[in-house]
Structure 1
Amino acid sequence: MTQIKMIATDVDGTFLNDQRQYNHERFSAQLARLKAANIRFAVASGNHLGHLHKVFAPTPAVQTFVAENGGLIVDHHHTLFEAPMPTDVAHAVVDALMTDATLRPHAFRLSGAHGTYVSRDSKPLDLDAQNYFFDNLVTVDDPRNVNDTIYKVNGEWPHSSVQHVVDQLNTRFANQIHATPSGFGSIDIIAPHMNKAVGVTQLAQSWGIDSSEVAAFGDNGNDKEMIAHVGLGIAMCNGTEAVRSVADLITPTDNNHDGVLDVIDSILADKV
């Protein structure tokens, strides 16, 4: 097998357990071993950058983030790449979500460079989850009037309707957006032709690493392109069937039992 020179991992449902924790001591030791082996480590998430900084604050050696499903790549506080949504497209999507009863979510948010904007009348399914994932919330009367760099629109729907809404949005705004399930009944709507595979590839190329030399972990729909694209695509055993079906490897243990860390140990031991 090609030598792995870079590891990228999704966060929720993958690296974090269901209590949104990870083994700090074990992971810190792995980071030191990865550095000694010249293997780069990056986070690849649909979340915004500020949230990711908070999640990985206990392990400050983590300094590379493919955030917003590939729309923003930051390495040691230096922006390497960004692909925001065109403002007019973001506003058109918001208008559709607000006025079309077949698309109307329980809640939606605009993830911007200077804040996460949420409508005053938004009714998130889980307020605690919103406050956890979006720590830079800015309440607005009309999201269509937001003037900021917008990386994504995120919405919440009943789990049973998520794929239907994804299909509707991608059809209605063909070649203008890319809508993808992001777990927990959420959909991320980002710039067209943008996904984690694109972001991880951009990052790898900046380091002189080929995609075949990348290992990536994920569990949900917004990880599928990344898992399928890299040299070693690793799906969590607790992941969706769509992700597991394109993976090269499925973790023996789930996100609640250090599934990612176990496979990283195997990579370091050259046993995968």
Structure 2
Amino acid sequence: MTHIKLIATDVDGTFLNSQRHYNQPRFHEQLDRLHAAGIHFVIASGNSLGHLHDVFAPTPAIKTFVAENGGLITSGDKTLFEDAIPTPVVHEIVRTILADDTLRPQVLRLSGAHGTYINRADQTNDPASQAYFFNNIVLVDDLTQVDDTFYKVNGEWPNESIQALAAKINERFPTEIHATASGFGSIDIIPPHMNKAIGLHQLADSWGIKPAEIAAFGDNDNDQEMLAHVGLGVAMSNGTDTVKQVADLITKTDNDHDGVLDVIDAILADEL
């Protein structure tokens, strides 16, 4: 019998295909088998909780979410863990980024408990994607006047520059935050001590599950810590080189060809 007791997966570029769908019949059959084997299944994403609930509405059996890169963890209707960036730090980040033409993004967003805040003057290059990822948008005149519980600051830049820009933001704020590329020309700015690995560890520890008993899937820079932390870190074949470098396994098939589900079958068959 497999030693894996918990499976966690990133969403975009990993569990979802390029059309933002997943193979529901196959996965639902797997989920029944995972439950029968006593294996927890968890979504671990940089996205907001509301968006994740929308994406996985066809699978109500998924109850546990590590959202906001570990900053918000829920199971059912209960909040298990929550971590936020202090509001003064968020406002200082906004002022610094917007004042520097080398850092200023196309769109800057604040992900809060009560909404995703965007300056009404900002215009995204991809309105359809913004509407998909951020379903609780609140337009404001000044981001530095917003008061909420903030899980992250998110910006939209040209995709080819995000890793260098993330490094530059980290140099500006070496102790206050951690900036990480999250894919699709996006950078997530989160608490310095927070990432998916920390969030997943808190959750697993509360269930009495050791890191060696966890399998995790990811495709991008904000998955690196999680894949390095667990017993079986699985990078997608379509993932970045940086995430592949820390993985124990790279999927044979990509996110458009059920790469995650193939590995889950191998786990259930005790082949890994």
Name the CA distance, whole Å, in 1 between partners of 2:120 and 2:98.
13
Q: Indicate whether 1:241 and 2:241 are aligned.
A: yes
Q: CA–CA distance in 1 between the matches of 2:31 and 2:213?
A: 18
**2:265 pairs with 1:254:** no
* TM-score of the two chains, using structure 2 as the length reference: 0.98
CA contact (8 A) 1:2 1:213 kept: no
Residue 129 of structure 2 is matched in structure 1 by 129
Question: What is the match of residue 197 of structure 2?
Answer: 197
Equivalent position of 2:120 in the other structure: 120
Paired residue secondary structure (1:227): helix
Cross-structure match for 2:270: 270
Aligned runs of 1:119-198 on 2, under 5 Å? Answer: 119-198=119-198
User: How far does residue 187 in structure 1 lie from its aligned partner after superposition?
Assistant: 0.0
Q: Percent identity?
A: 65
Letter in 2 for 1:16: L
Partner of 1:59: 59
- Which residue is equivalent to 2:106? 106
Deviation at 1:56, TM superposition (A): 0.4
User: Match of 2:30, SS?
Assistant: helix
Aligned to 1:217: 217
Name the aligned partner's letter for residue 209 of structure 2: I
How far has the Cα of 1:160 moved from its partner?
A: 2.2
CA distance in 2, matches of 1:77, 1:90: 28
Rounded Cα–Cα distance in structure 2 between residues aligned with 1:219 and 1:120: 32
CA distance in structure 1 between the partners assigned to 2:261 and 2:233 by the alignment: 15
Distance across 1 between alignment mates of 2:96 and 2:212: 39
Structure 1: give runs of 5+ residues left out of the alignment: none
Read off the aligned partner of 2:9 and give its amino acid letter. T
1:133-162 Cα offsets, whole Å, 9 max, x none, are: 000000000011111000000001112221
Query: Where does the alignment leave 5 or more consecutive residues of structure 2 unmatched?
Result: none
Cα-to-partner distance string for 1:193-228 (whole Å, 9 max, x where unaligned): 110000110110011101111000000000011011
| Structure 1 residue 2, shift from structure 2 partner | 7.4
Structure-to-structure mapping, 1:84-99, within 5 angstroms: 84-99=84-99
* Separation in structure 1 between the aligned mates of residue 159 and residue 113 of structure 2, nearest angstrom: 28
CA distance in 1, matches of 2:89, 2:80: 24
Question: Structure 1 length normalisation: TM-score?
Answer: 0.98
Q: Flag as ranges the 4+ runs of structure 1 deviating above 6 A.
A: none
Aligned residues of 2:65 and 2:74 also touching (Cα < 8 A): yes
Amino acid at match of 2:53: H
